[in-house]
Amino acid sequence: MNLSSLFASYNWTLSVSEEALFRKFLELFIAYNAHVNLSAIRDEEGIIIKHFIDSLAVLRAVNLEGKILDI
């Protein structure tokens, strides 16, 4: 799966380092989700859209600074 093109389909452009971080986060999310039920969403595309991109959507409406936690 091309992570950058999936983000681009929602008008998000990732730098090389951001893409690497999202890939690592996806890997960790899937591995941990196999042992602890973090989410019922199991497929990579669903995780990216419904967790990663959805969490970033707030940045289009609100100017945030510092560290942010999306629970």
Give the residue, 71 or 13, on which the prediction is more confident: 13
- Is residue 70 predicted with pLDDT exceeding 90? no
Report pLDDT for 28: 96
| Backbone phi, psi, residue 63, to 5° | -90, 110
15-65 pLDDT, tens digit each: 999 999 999 999 999 999 999 989 999 999 999 999 999 988 888 888 888
- How far is the CA of 11 from the CAs of 20, 42, 67, in angstroms? 18, 24, 23
Report pLDDT for 59: 85
The per-residue DSSP string of 53-70 comes to IHHHGGGGTS---S----
